[in-house]
């Protein structure tokens, strides 16, 4: 069934194409659009997720059942229990992200990333932070209707009086948060909106790549050291091969790692342990807000604030007031920090016997993740800072209870009148990254150094993550990958 121009459901896929992108999420759709802009035709994007609409899903319940996570994945710890990115609707997590746009710091880029990538991200042309940020904020301005809760009020003066040392800036978002009947809702950009003609200005009039839902990639087929095509599981339980000149892996970090590991094995390099996996460490306090501050802050258009602690703590401190759907306003005061290096988390694969499987089955993958002692130490250091803020607010702290997320902590805070500490499990921030890094496994454009015409997109390619949320970097890198595929900028080694 054709849903809109270029968008198809239920496995309507041609027998061959020029570029096959695996994954119709943030990185896959953006890379496909960048390729289309550079004149590549015959692009197909395949994704197992069902089409559930173009708009942001925010917290609206999903009325269309999602496919189950594939049986080949499991987690060996409480972390990564929900296997981020492995299952989702068409559009992936671009349909539910919060639109926060933060560039990776120059210090992190210069220390760990290939020079070419760093130069390009920090310059001003296509594929730079500045260019991507500018056009997303323009998209937001063009899409933003009248907002009932918008006022010019700004609580930062009062906050400064309480926390004089903190720099407080509003968080740049490719979207906006509003109060809904059941809580605070977020609406943000998705590259999928291009197929509804509500995407970025430069995508208006573009011959849109073909996106097909209901197809999960099992493995990349390799012949004479280069990609030949991809084996895809179809909705009726069958399997079919689609030939392609170029394959771009954009299936989220976990599946990208598996598909890349299996492709490497096809050229005789069987790697079963993939270290470098990292997610952001998210922890904070749900705080019942004193009424003077609550009143001004809830009315304000500056309800989502950030204090930058990248240099000393590799972290950002965020603050957002939640009032809708709650008995009283609650301040969410949380840190988003990089896991401490070296990263100990890894993905391990268990390749099936090749003679029995014919090389055409998915490898079993297991994620093993935990906080290191350095992570625990940094969590305590950051909590000391936020503890001082709580003292200034004159709010007591309830006992810590292991892993909790904001929502239950907020309910507990309101019930007891005390701040509740929470530490989220790894894999719940959905910023998992780092297993197939640029400059090591890939060149600076995401091209495989081992398998011809194979590319990897998305945060799996980040050499390190820094404190910034990943999507601004994902969107910028989509242009780099498209240029590497089309050879626009040559392709020297990193
Ligand atoms: C609630 C929430 C809020 C967030 N807020 C922010 C934010 O404010 N700022 C920010 O920077 N980031 C944010 N993120 C993170 C951001 O959404 C992700 O980092 C980003 O979407 C990852 O892009 P991706 O393309 O790697 O994965 P995804 O967008 O998840 O896309 C992966 C796609 O691959 C498909 N797929 C999986 N397996 C296969 C397979 N075998 N074959 C083919 N396709 C496959 C999936 O169905 C999916 O559509 C948020 C995430 C969540 C969940």
Whether residue 303 sits in one domain with residue 199: no
pLDDT at residue 326 in the model: 85
Whether residue 163 sits in one domain with residue 137: no
Domain boundary among 399, 423, 447: 423
CA-nearest residue, atom 36 of ligand 1: 251
Q: Distance from the CA of 135 to the center of ligand 1, in angstroms?
A: 20
CA-218 nearest atom, ligand 1 = 41
Angle of helix 129-143 relative to helix 471-486, nearest 10 degrees?
120
Cβ 50 under 6 angstroms from ligand 1: no
pLDDT at residue 59 in the model: 63
CATH code, domain carrying 439: 3.50.50.60
253 domain residue, yes or no: yes
494 domain residue, yes or no: no
Cβ 175 under 6 angstroms from ligand 1: no
Mind listing the pLDDT tens digit for each residue in 113-151? 999 999 999 999 999 999 999 999 999 988 875 454 555
Whether residue 286 sits in one domain with residue 274: no
Q: Distance from the CA of 454 to the center of ligand 1, in angstroms?
A: 20
Mind listing the pLDDT tens digit for each residue in 406-446? 989 999 999 999 999 999 999 999 999 999 999 999 999 99
Whether residue 361 sits in one domain with residue 231: yes
- Are 10 and 238 in contact, with CB atoms under 8 Å apart? no
Cβ 474 under 6 angstroms from ligand 1: yes
Domain hosting residue 63, numbered range: 2-141+188-278+346-368+432-486
Task: Give the pTM.
Answer: 0.96
Whether residue 114 sits in one domain with residue 150: no
Mind listing the pLDDT tens digit for each residue in 143-181? 875 454 555 567 777 788 788 888 889 899 999 888 877
Domain boundary among 381, 404, 423: 423
Q: Distance from the CA of 178 to the center of ligand 1, in angstroms?
A: 22
Pocket probe mutation, ligand 1, options 54, 92, 170, max atoms within 8 Å of Cβ: 92
Give the chain's largest Cα–Cα span. Answer: 71
Q: What is the 3-state secondary structure (H, E, C) of the chain?
A: CEEECCEECCCCCCCEEEEEEECCCHHHHHHHHHHHHCCCCCEEEEECCCCCCCCCCCCCCCCCCCCCCCCCEEECCCCCCCCCCCCCCCCHHHHCCCCECCCCCHHHHHHHCCHHHHHHHHCCCCCCHHHHHHHHHHHHHHHCCCCCCCCCCCCHHHHHHHCCCCCCEECCECEEEEEECCEEEEEECCHHHHHHCCCCHHHCCCCCCEEEECCEEEEEEEECCEEEEEEEECCCCCEEEEEEEEEEECCHHHHHHHHHHHHHHHCCCCCCEEECCECEEEEEEEEECCHHHHHHHHHCCCCEEEEEEHHHHCEEEEEEEECCCCCCCEEEEEEEEECCCCCCCEEEEECCCHHHHCCCCCCEEEEECCCCHHHHHHHHHHHHHHHHHHHHHCCCECCCCCECCHHHHHHHHHHHCCEEEEECCCCCCCCCECCCCECCCECCCCEECCCECEEECCHHHCCCCCCCCCHHHHHHHHHHHHHHHHCCCCCCCC
pLDDT at residue 159 in the model: 80
Whether residue 307 sits in one domain with residue 271: no
Q: Say how many domains are in the chain.
A: 2
Cβ 250 under 6 angstroms from ligand 1: yes
Q: Identify the segments of the chain with pLDDT beneath 70.
A: 59-63, 145-153, 356, 358-359, 488-494
Whether residue 417 sits in one domain with residue 324: yes
Whether residue 461 sits in one domain with residue 480: yes
Whether residue 27 sits in one domain with residue 77: yes
CA-470 nearest atom, ligand 1 = 11
Whether residue 474 sits in one domain with residue 461: yes
């Amino acid at each position: 069934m054709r849903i809109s121009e270029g968008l198809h459901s239920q496995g309507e896929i041609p027998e061959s194409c020029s570029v096959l992108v695996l994954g119709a999420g943030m990185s896959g759709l953006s890379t496909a659009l960048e390729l289309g802009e550079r004149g590549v035709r015959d692009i197909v994007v395949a994704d197992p997720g069902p089409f559930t609409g173009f708009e942001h899903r925010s917290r609206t319940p999903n009325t269309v059942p999602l496919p189950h996570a594939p049986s080949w994945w499991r987690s060996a710890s409480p972390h990564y229990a929900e296997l981020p990115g492995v299952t989702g609707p068409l559009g992936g997590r671009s349909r539910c992200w919060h639109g926060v746009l933060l560039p990776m710091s120059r210090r992190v880029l210069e220390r760990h990333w290939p020079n070419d990538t760093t130069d390009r991200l920090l310059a001003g042309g296509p594929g730079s932070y500045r260019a991507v940020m500018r056009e997303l904020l323009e998209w937001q301005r063009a899409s933003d209707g009248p907002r009932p809760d918008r006022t010019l009020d700004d609580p930062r003066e009062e906050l400064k009086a309480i926390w004089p040392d903190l720099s407080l800036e509003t968080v740049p978002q490719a979207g906006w948060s509003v109060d809904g009947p059941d809580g605070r809702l977020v609406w943000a950009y998705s590259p999928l909106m291009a197929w509804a003609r509500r995407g970025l200005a430069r995508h208006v009039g573009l011959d849109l790549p073909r996106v097909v839902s209901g197809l999960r990639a099992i493995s990349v087929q390799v012949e004479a050291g280069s990609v030949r095509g991809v084996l895809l599981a179809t909705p009726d339980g069958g399997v079919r091969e689609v030939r392609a000149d170029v394959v771009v892996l954009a299936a989220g970090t976990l599946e990208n790692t598996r598909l890349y590991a299996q492709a490497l094995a096809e050229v005789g390099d069987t790697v079963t342990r993939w270290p470098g996996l990292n997610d952001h460490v998210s922890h904070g306090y749900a705080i019942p807000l004193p009424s003077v501050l609550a009143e001004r802050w809830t009315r304000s258009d500056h309800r989502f604030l950030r204090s930058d602690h990248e240099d000393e703590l590799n972290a950002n401190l965020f603050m957002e007031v939640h009032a809708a759907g709650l008995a009283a306003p609650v301040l969410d005061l949380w840190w988003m920090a990089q896991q401490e290096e070296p990263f100990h988390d890894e993905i391990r694969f268990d390749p099936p016997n090749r003679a029995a499987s014919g090389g055409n089955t998915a490898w079993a993958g297991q994620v093993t993740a935990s906080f290191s002692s350095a992570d625990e130490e940094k969590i305590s250091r950051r909590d000391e800072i936020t503890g001082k803020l709580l003292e200034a607010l004159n709010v007591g702290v309830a006992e810590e209870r292991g892993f909790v997320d904001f929502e239950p902590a907020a309910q507990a805070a309101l019930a007891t009148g005390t701040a509740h500490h929470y530490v989220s499990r790894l894999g719940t921030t959905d910023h998992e990254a780092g297993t197939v890094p640029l400059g090591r496994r890939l060149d600076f454009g995401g091209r495989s150094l081992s398998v011809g015409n194979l590319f990897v997109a998305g945060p799996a390619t980040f050499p390190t993550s820094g404190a910034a949320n990943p999507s601004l970097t994902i969107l910028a890198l989509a242009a780099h990958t498209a240029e590497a595929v089309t050879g626009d900028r040559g392709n020297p080694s990193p």
